Amino acid sequence: MFFSIDPNNGVAIYEQIVRQVKFAIADKTVRPGQLLPSVRLLSQQLAINPNTINRALQQLQTEGILEALRGRGLAVCEGATANCVAARRTLVSQRFKEVVSEALHAGLAADDIRGIVSQQLDSLSGQIETVSSTVASTAQTPQTPSA
């Protein structure tokens, strides 16, 4: 599983992990029944405190996204995909609402905002990696043994 953690973006690291797991499930990069890497492995790979990883995974369990399988680890629950698709849409919608509210408060007209959104969509089209494209490119990159 691929994570992109930015400690300087203003979102708590555990929350970034929660979001990225949900986005990966929503994108069907991670499927129901699939095991997630262990806390120890994620902690080592991401250079993040294991307690932070554990907090994120506990939140996902509480939300019914992950389930503990005795002796095996944490797996994606059946039905988690639909929940994660809805959560992704809600999160993005809330963030858009904040940006649009700020733009309206700044005095921009609705047509100006639409123009800005359209311009940004055009400029970013094809340039942003999704969770699934990042995982696919990582899987296709040959791993060279380290000396």
Give the tens place of pLDDT for each residue, 84-109: 999 999 999 999 999 999 999 999 99
The token duo for 78 is: 């059946």
Structure confidence at residue 18 as a pLDDT band (50, 70, 90): very high
The token duo for 11 is: 């979102």
The token duo for 93 is: 């919608």
Distance of CA 68 to the CA centre of its chain: 20
Do 15 and 25 contact (CB within 8 A), yes or no? no
Tell me how far apart the terminal alpha carbons of the chain are, to the nearest angstrom.
Answer: 25
68 DSSP β-pair partners: 74
Looking up tokens 């929503």 gives 26
The model's pTM is 0.77
| Residue-range domain boundaries for the chain | 13-80, 85-128
DSSP assignment letter at 79: T
pLDDT (mean) for 3-13: 90
Q: Name the residue type at position 118.
A: S
Whether residue 137 has pLDDT greater than 70: no
The token duo for 33 is: 């029944």
Do 76 and 30 contact (CB within 8 A), yes or no? yes
Q: Which of 136, 134, 21, 129 is nearest to 80 (CA)?
A: 21
Instruction: From the options 1.10.10.10, 2.40.30.10, 1.10.287.3510, 3.40.50.150, give the CATH code of 13-80.
Output: 1.10.10.10
Task: Kindly give, in sequence order, each residue whose CB lies less than 8 Å from that of residue 121, ignoring residues fewer than 6 positions away.
Answer: none
pLDDT at 146: 41
**At 29, phi and psi to the nearest 5?**
-75, -35
The token duo for 19 is: 């979001």
